[in-house]
Amino acid sequence: QSWFYGQDLPERNHFNQSVLLDVSGVDREALAAAVEALFTHHDALRLRSDGTRLWFAEPDGQGLEDADGRTADDVQASLDLVNGPVARFVLLPGDRLLIAVHHMAVDGVSWRILLEDLAAAYQGAPLPAKTTSFKEWATRLQQ
């Protein structure tokens, strides 16, 4: 966090990573339920930060969205560290799912976990028990 805020970034909210998945033939309701489960299970997807502190929003029903004319760039530019969201799951035309997450909330290792959990939740499997949540880890780190 201190490295990130120490950088002279022109647009802090656009510092994100994304994946684009082909979701042809996917059941939209099951996908929406899986995305909602991810937001509930993974604290980092509800991260907020103002440069001096971190906090986590409560799950508020954020989930799968339709593009409604937005492009991938629009979705990525809409991430907001202070007010949220820091993650968006957006269905784009052509049966594509764009997952855009601010880099403060995701890295290379966590992508694997998120995508595995998305697949498991889509299939109706319970998500694995949390070990130390990101929220708990961040709280301990600040103490």
- Tens digits of residue pLDDT in 32-58: 999 999 999 998 899 887 777 767 888
Q: Which of 121, 127, 124, 111 is nearest to 21 (CA)?
A: 111
Residue scoring higher pLDDT (70 or 140): 70
Containing H/E element for 121? helix 108-122
Percent of the chain with pLDDT over 70: 79
Which residue is it, tokens 């202070």?
A: 82
Q: Which domains does the chain have, with CATH numbers?
A: 2-126 (3.30.559.10)
What pLDDT, on the 0 to 100 scale, is given for residue 104?
79
How many angstroms separate the CA atoms of 4 and 104, rounded? 8
Percent of the chain with pLDDT over 90: 55
What pLDDT, on the 0 to 100 scale, is given for residue 97?
98
Q: Which of 45, 41, 19 is nearest to 106 (CA)?
A: 45
What pLDDT, on the 0 to 100 scale, is given for residue 140?
65
User: Is a pLDDT exceeding 80 seen at residue 14?
Assistant: no
How many angstroms separate the CA atoms of 125 and 139, rounded? 29
